């Protein structure tokens, strides 16, 4: 079972030639750990997951799990999704024997599987990984929307412990009324958190936490506890979140990390090819 209430979805560092920069990726995660972050998501949407081939994902997995400063001291969640089911299953199988705490199981973009096909895809990946599974529904990015019925079916698997819902947040209210076991509802991103908590979201997959790890964790904890929030607190947090999500979020995020002396490099094109990206 995953214990951290908040995990930070970290970007993947790339060199100027767009090759994988494992060292800088690890340096950023280590810096987050030093600031008190308890959990990170590696190779998710923020990590430009679908720009990486299987070999690169396996390289990143090996580096993260072999770093004794990280694995065992943080909850490492690894993103597993591919337009090719066979590659997703291979990655899940590689994760199986590692210290990775759980996987974020995403759906393939563009190809629009049926709900039955998506369920079978999920079952195969979950079985191969033998890790706690967070389902990841993000129709805006994939074009595919995991149905409530499919979520309910998959929630019956012992390994499936939650869902990161970045689509229709109102699904969570209904799911909470139907799922009897302990189940976690991850908000996908930091915007609109007060409303999402009211709907029943009880965990957070944070992007802004890359820049404000302590502040985001404290803010979300306060919302979950029902403590009153002052106007000044709300304004300050809104400003921080808007700062990260304005314009091109990944470019701004990497620039903010760069200002700390960690060179996250560029985003893989076409992201960033309309600006002078000098990271």
Residues recognised as catalytic: 136, 164
Separation of alpha carbons 13 and 177, rounded Å = 41
- In 3D, which of 266, 262, 268, 264 has the Cα closest to residue 276? 266
How far is C-alpha 20 from the geometric centre of its chain's CA atoms? 19
Q: Is 191 annotated as a binding residue?
A: no
Upstream peptide bond of 51 is cis (omega within 30 degrees of 0)? no
Residue with tokens 């033998």: 130
The dihedral region occupied by 277, where left means phi > 0, alpha psi between -120 and 50, and beta the remainder, is beta
User: Which are the contacts of 36, defined by CB distance < 8 A and separation ≥ 6?
Assistant: 213, 214, 217
> 258, 279 in Cβ contact below 8 A?
yes
Backbone angles phi, psi at 204, to 5 degrees: -135, 130
- DSSP string for residues in 4-16: -SEEEEPPPPB-T
Separation of alpha carbons 279 and 263, rounded Å = 7
* Lookup: tokens for 35: 């600031």
- In 3D, which of 19, 86, 10, 100 has the Cα closest to residue 54? 86
The dihedral region occupied by 180, where left means phi > 0, alpha psi between -120 and 50, and beta the remainder, is alpha
Separation of alpha carbons 262 and 234, rounded Å = 29
Q: Which residues contribute to the annotated binding site?
A: 46
Q: Which residues contribute to the annotated binding site for pyruvate?
A: 46
């Amino acid at each position: 079972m995953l214990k951290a209430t908040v995990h930070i979805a970290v970007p993947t560092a790339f060199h100027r030639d767009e090759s994988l920069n494992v060292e800088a990726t690890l340096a950023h995660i280590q810096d987050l750990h030093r600031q008190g972050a308890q959990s990170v998501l590696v190779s998710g949407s923020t990590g430009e997951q679908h720009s990486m081939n299987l070999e690169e994902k396996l390289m990143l997995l090996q580096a993260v799990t072999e770093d004794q400063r990280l694995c065992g001291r943080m909850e490492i969640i690894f993103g597993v999704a591919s337009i090719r089911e066979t590659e997703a299953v291979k990655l899940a199988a590689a994760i199986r024997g590692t210290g990775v705490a759980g996987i974020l199981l995403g759906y393939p973009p563009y190809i629009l599987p049926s709900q039955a096909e998506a369920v079978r895809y999920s079952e195969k990946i979950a079985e191969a990984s033998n890790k706690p599974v967070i389902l990841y529904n993000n129709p805006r990015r994939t074009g595919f929307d995991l149905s409530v019925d499919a979520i309910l079916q998959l929630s019956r698997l012992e390994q499936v412990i939650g869902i990161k819902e970045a689509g229709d947040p109102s699904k969570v209210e209904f799911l909470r009324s139907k799922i009897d076991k302990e189940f976690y509802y991850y908000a996908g991103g930091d915007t609109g958190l007060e409303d999402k908590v009211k709907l029943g979201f009880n965990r957070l997959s944070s992007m802004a936490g890359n820049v404000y790890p302590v502040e985001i964790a404290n803010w979300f904890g306060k919302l979950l506890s029902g403590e009153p929030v002052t106007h000044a607190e709300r304004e300050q947090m809104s400003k921080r979140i808007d700062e990260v999500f304005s314009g091109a979020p990944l470019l701004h995020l990497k620039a903010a990390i760069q200002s700390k002396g960690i060179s996250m490099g560029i985003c893989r094109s076409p992201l960033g090819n309309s600006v002078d990206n000098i990271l």
